[in-house]
Structure 1
Amino acid sequence: MRDGSCRKEALGLFPELESIEAELEVYESLLRRWQAKINLVSAATLDEIWLRHFADSAQVHAVAPQIRCWADMGTGAGFPGLVTALLLKSTPQAVVHLIESDQRKAGFLRAVSRETGAPAIIHAERIESVLPNIAADVGGVSARALAPLSRLVQLAEAPLKKGAIGVFLKGEEWRDELTAVEALGSLSCESADSRTRKGARVVVVKHKASQ
């Protein structure tokens, strides 16, 4: 699929991206430039950035647009957390904590945040060192292609116990992972088909004690 048709499809799926289209153009330009130096995304997806990365990431904000403070675990090239931050750019007091221990990727996130004005705070540290300290402020935790669901809820335990929700973008392995998390008994899970990837799933996790 050509980049132009991907962009059109992405904007069709998520019209809210139109309000940050200029910022996403800057994002794409920086990603292509940095990709030549460090591996940010799969080379096979470079011509599908708008659909595979921007639109896919937009699903997190779509689940809970009322949440103003997010923590994105293992942000990598910014998906989904940096897209969430851009979608919240015009929302007062909004902030997205981007947690990425790789110093080079954290440098890329800082560059994009600076050039686009995204309301993001970059933490170049391990998730376990950051998330417990900001748990009280966080309303939502997100991640994509980071770890099995059982590990994600373990990492996000502190904010989940304080009432935050987890929104995780999962691939075709989601069904077995969901069963394993539901077996824990303390968490409730809901899921819906991904709007951008066949066979993928958007999983929403909540701590039962906070419901």
Structure 2
Amino acid sequence: MVSKYGDVSRETLDRLKVFVDLVLKWQPAQNLIAPSTIPDIWIRHVVDSLQTQWSLPDARTWVDIGSGGGFPGIITAILLADVPGSHVHMIESNQRKVAFLRTALRETGSTGTVHAGRIEAVAENWRHGAPDAVSARALASLDLLLKLSESFTADGATAVFHKGQEFQREVNEASHAWTFDLIQHKSIVDPSSRMLLLSNISARPGSLEGVTA
């Protein structure tokens, strides 16, 4: 289920299995993933989320915004569980999902912190140093993601965002308000989707007036 797409250690695979079991256990009450994707959870969610850390393997500290059901935040934390100095910060405003994420970190033995609150509020009061990378999956348009992650990328973090088949349109629209260096990786799960790696991100002067989250 994973080896077809990439190699992970036995310990990592065991942690991934623990996490999938937790998702399925909490799903009826929390609706962590779309019900229609449950039969394909390993490919649609686990493998898809593995691509985040795989896209930027040298990053040790991550901020995952709008973490929801833990894809990709918990998956990244699992991949880095045995890597010294690594830490995954997850930002989530839904208190029930916050409880789930904290349980998932504990049960999988992964290193991370779940910050309860809106992304803007958590970012404004950030006291944890500059991260290496910022991630998000199925959260918002690229333009809005760049706004939400601005305080982290301004300190040099690389943004790693999953985007579907409309990725080029989103890139074009975001480029009206932002300048950035972009690397695209074709998704190993869906060839029409992309992993977008954005660095050297800055807002064009006057372009964000009226933009709100």
Q: TM-score with structure 1 length normalisation?
A: 0.90
Q: Which residues of 2 match residues 69-88 of structure 1 at below 5 A?
A: 69-88=61-80
Q: Distance in 1 between matches of 2:65 and 2:178?
A: 23
Secondary structure, counterpart of 2:4 in structure 1: helix
Q: 1:119 aligns with which of 111, 126, 131?
A: 111
1:141 to 2:173 alignment: no
Q: 1:190 aligns with which of 169, 179, 183?
A: 183
Secondary structure, counterpart of 1:205 in structure 2: strand
In structure 2, relative to structure 1, the CA distance for the partners of 1:185 and 1:108 (3 Å cut) is closer
Name the one with the larger helix percent. 1
Q: Distance in 2 between matches of 1:39 and 1:86?
A: 22
The residue type equivalent to 2:115 in the other structure is H
Q: What does residue 51 of structure 2 align with?
A: 59
Secondary structure, counterpart of 2:191 in structure 1: coil
Q: 2:8 aligns with which of 16, 33, 36?
A: 16
The residue type equivalent to 2:7 in the other structure is P
Secondary structure, counterpart of 1:29 in structure 2: helix
Secondary structure, counterpart of 2:196 in structure 1: strand
The residue type equivalent to 1:147 in the other structure is A
Q: Distance in 1 between matches of 2:24 and 2:163?
A: 25
Q: What does residue 89 of structure 1 align with?
A: 81
1:169 to 2:162 alignment: yes
Q: What does residue 121 of structure 2 align with?
A: 129
In structure 2, relative to structure 1, the CA distance for the partners of 1:144 and 1:161 (3 Å cut) is same
Cα RMSD after superposing both structures? 1.6
Q: Tell me how far 1:187 sits from its aligned partner.
A: 1.6
Unaligned runs of 5+ in 1: 1-6
Instruction: Quote the sequence identity (%).
Output: 36
Unaligned runs of 5+ in 2: 203-213
Size of the aligned set, in residue pairs, is 201
Q: Tell me how far 1:182 sits from its aligned partner.
A: 2.5
